[in-house]
Amino acid sequence: MTDTTDVALPPLMAIRARIARAAGLAGRDAAAVNLIAISKTRDEAHIVPLIDQGQRLFGENRVQEAHAKWPALTERYRDVRLHLVGQLQSNKAEDAVRLFDAIHSLDRPSLLGALARAMDRTGRRVPLFVQINIGEEAQKGGCALAAVPALLAEARAADLPLAGLMAVPPAGVEAAPYFALLRKIAADNGLDGLSMGMSDDFETAVMLGATHIRVGSALFGPRGDQPSALPSP
Ligand SMILES: *Cc1c(COP(=O)(O)O)cnc(C)c1O
């Protein structure tokens, strides 16, 4: 275990307890909820204590940042898994397929060919979540609601491994209706995975069926207001 005596431990246990309570209220098995620790902008000094506490699933939103940060860590901690939760450019598809164990940001048909080629070349079949612009917001990433059936059909035609749907609801309003809508679209399309819920709303997401919740600041503290890096032990 890393010496963390001078550092407040990230509240992983508290988050796990809240997941268990929310799952229990909904009659769900908490083990069906995958907690993705979103470690974007955090460095090893923040990440390793979480690994030491048993967290094995992490998420990053930029391929380049993940590439700089994770290979050294996954070399040391072989059972750590990494998910991409940010926008993916076609020219980074192969890097992403090599680096990540799931991709939550398939949002347009033009990515399909790049991902299919990358999976062929690497021999890796990386589960994909189709990201939906669930609130139909102008600035927001994700596939438009009306374009979802066609994107899913094209992904299936290309024999890509579809894991489910992902969304980030509009900020500042109740997220539950958007989570419920995402769940309905997934059910209508025969998809099991639901990547939804972040620090402020993961309990609601768990109650509404999330299989993957993406939690950053509730685990690591607010971004841009992090403790300074720890000296090496
Ligand atoms: C940063 C990020 C999160 C985590 O957000 P928090 O509010 O810090 O929990 C979740 N999902 C995506 C796509 C993100 O970019």
pTM over 0.95: no
To test the ligand 1 pocket, which listed residue (15, 35, 36, 38) has its Cβ within 8 A of the most ligand atoms? 38
Closest among 133, 76, 51, 104 to 211, alpha carbons compared: 104
Quick: pLDDT tens for 119-151: 999 999 999 999 999 999 999 999 999 999 999
Position 110: which residue type?
A: S
pLDDT of residue 223: 84
To test the ligand 1 pocket, which listed residue (41, 61, 166, 226) has its Cβ within 8 A of the most ligand atoms? 61
Q: Which domains does the chain have, with CATH numbers?
A: 4-220 (3.20.20.10)
Closest among 82, 106, 223 to 155, alpha carbons compared: 106
Cβ–ligand 1 contact at 42 (below 6 Å): no
Determine the Cα–Cα distance for residues 25 and 43; give it in Å rounded to an integer: 35
Q: Does an H or E element contain 180, and which?
A: helix 176-188
Q: Does an H or E element contain 212, and which?
A: strand 212-215
Three-state SS for 91-146 is: HHHHHHHHHCCEEEEECCCHHHHHHHHHHHHHCCCCCEEEEECCCCCCCCCCECHH
Residues in the chain predicted with pLDDT less than 70, given as ranges, are 1-10, 225-233
Determine the Cα–Cα distance for residues 228 and 212; give it in Å rounded to an integer: 29
pLDDT of residue 110: 96
Cβ–ligand 1 contact at 4 (below 6 Å): no
